[in-house]
A = this chain, B = another copy of it.
Amino acid sequence: MKRSRVTLADVAAMARVDRAVVSRVINKDPTLNIRPQTRERVLAAIDELGYRPNVAARSLRTSRAHMFGLFIPDFANPVYAEIIKGAEAEAAAQGYVLVTGSASGTGMGSGTGLGEYMDRIGQGRIDGLLLAGTGDEPGLIEQLDRAAIPWLMLNNRSRSVKRYVILDDQRAAALAVEHLVRLGHRRIAHLAGPSHADTATRRSAGYSAAMRDAGLPEGPITAADYTPAGGAAAMGRLLAGQERPTAVFVANVASAIGAMEGVRSAGLEIPRDMSIVAVHDLPLASYLYPALTTVRMPLAELGRRGVTLLGSLKPDDTVAEVLAGPIELIQRRSTAPPADSGG
């Protein structure tokens, strides 16, 4: 284990040039005039000594950390895994490091734990912050502005400030509903997400629009909280209604898992008695039984786009973007024509 850190000065000494030359060689400063042989000596010395620039010194001088932050509610949610992947890849492509923090790393005393996270991150460690799945909490904007770095919400809108990139959840919902309509369903229910979640309201809007377009009456609508338990309870309510739907558009996969369980425990079968389609094509969806029909949205692309925008965002720019990108229905075993479709 090499003990003493190698600095610019060491490299400069070995190459018999000034520290400035080494710095300019490393940063490819176009104003530098240098003989090829000298450049070679510098590069050789860097290689020989195994020199790596000290990030702290560089950040201090340039006030750029070459690091972006991403804050998410929970690492265990596979939706965020996809977003992280995209964001990380794009950050890497720009020579940046992505540091992802979750609310579970905080005490979560108030709100999302973002405040505590920002305090630990400190000043000057990141050049920009992405917030995924965090909504419009009181004091949030002030907290972010105090940090004086560009920030952006992903997959969620803030009502007060236009700084977000979202997916076209409305179109995704429409795609799901159209799929069910094409299969012959006419009583299509909607198992919505929690009303405070921005994605939930957009998916619900998409459902309504698509039903209208198909000339169908909106089936029963009930909301759950994006968890399997909530989904199961909600499905129970749908099944207890008078006119039982033959299909249901579920706002997310977690709810759908519970909904499937709810159908089974009522002694019914999927898709024979009930077709189910949900939003986000997580790997998990294909492992369920029956494999869940989903709508795939470009989550990784969302992460990627977020990083790209962060890199070019001016302090007071506003961003309100619906990410263009492929949205497609992935048909699996959980949807089929309704049982009475023979008639």
Contacts and interface: CB of A to CB of B under 8 A. Distances in A.
Interface stretch (A116-124, A190-198, A322-330): A116-124
Given A85-B104, A148-B1, A287-B257, A97 B99 contact: yes
A85 B56 contact: no
A287 B255 CA distance: 11
Interface in A44-79: 50, 52-60, 63, 65-67, 75-76, 78
Interface of A: 1-3, 5, 50, 52-60, 63, 65-67, 75-76, 78, 80-82, 84-85, 88-89, 91-92, 95-102, 104-106, 116, 119-125, 145-148, 228, 257, 283-284, 287-289, 315-316
Contacts of A100: 99-100
Contacts of A66: 122
B75 A85 contact: yes
A234 to B, nearest CB: 16
Contacts of A56: 55-57, 59-60, 63, 65, 124-125
Contacts of A106: 92
5 contacts: A2-B146, A54-B122, A56-B56, A96-B120, A287-B288
Nearest to A91: B105
A270 to B, nearest CB: 10
A29 to B, nearest CB: 19
A259 to B, nearest CB: 12
B53 A123 contact: yes
A5 B60 contact: no
Contacts of A76: 78, 81-82, 85, 283
A123 B56 CA distance: 8
B124 A102 contact: no
